[in-house]
Structure 1
Amino acid sequence: MADNANSADDRLRLLIERIERLEEEKKGIADDIRDVYMEAKAVGYDPKIMRQIVRLRKMKPDDRSEQDMLLETYKNALGMA
């Protein structure tokens, strides 16, 4: 029974260590992305708009179309068209 407990403890420790490594990698990637946005800003691009484009490109075409339609509907309702 002690072997099972030690085995479970080792498994848990390994899983936690994997998560910690992945979190470090995620932080490094987030820093790299931030650097790319800073580089884009330095050459005259708007990072805020670029983030919106990245978000839109991740969407399915039907979802993006629906969002565009709703946005237009709301803008028309508010007299912003």
Structure 2
Amino acid sequence: MSDNVAADQLRLFIERIERLEEEKKGIADDIKDVYNEAKSNGYDVKTMRTIVRLRRMEAHHRAEAEALLETYKAALGLE
């Protein structure tokens, strides 16, 4: 591969990444808007974020995390 072809390929990769980063920023702004709308309707955004995170987890990972949380809470007298 010549230096010119490699440089062109690298430039194309960088430009694709830059476009995707812009799209990601736009999507992040849209998500923020949805959370703000939910908050203005009386929903607790922190709890919603937790639910979204939990729903992304596989069931066995979620069960493991919840069991560990319960163990820690019990050890600290938060039950």
Deviations 1:32-59 (A, max 9, x none): 0000000000111111100000000001
> Aligned residue for 1:41?
39
CA distance, structure 1, for counterparts of residue 36 and residue 6 of structure 2? 45
Q: For structure 2, which runs of at least 5 residues remain unmatched after alignment?
A: none
CA distance, structure 2, for counterparts of residue 13 and residue 69 of structure 1? 48
Q: Comparing 20-29 with 65-74, which one deviates more in the overlay?
A: 65-74
> Aligned residue for 1:52?
50
The alpha carbon displacement at 1:67 in A equals 0.9
CA distance, structure 1, for counterparts of residue 39 and residue 60 of structure 2? 31
Q: Secondary structure at the match of 1:44?
A: coil
> Aligned residue for 1:27?
25
Count of aligned pairs: 79
| Matching of residues 3-18 of structure 1 within 5 Å | 4-18=2-16
Seq. identity, %? 68
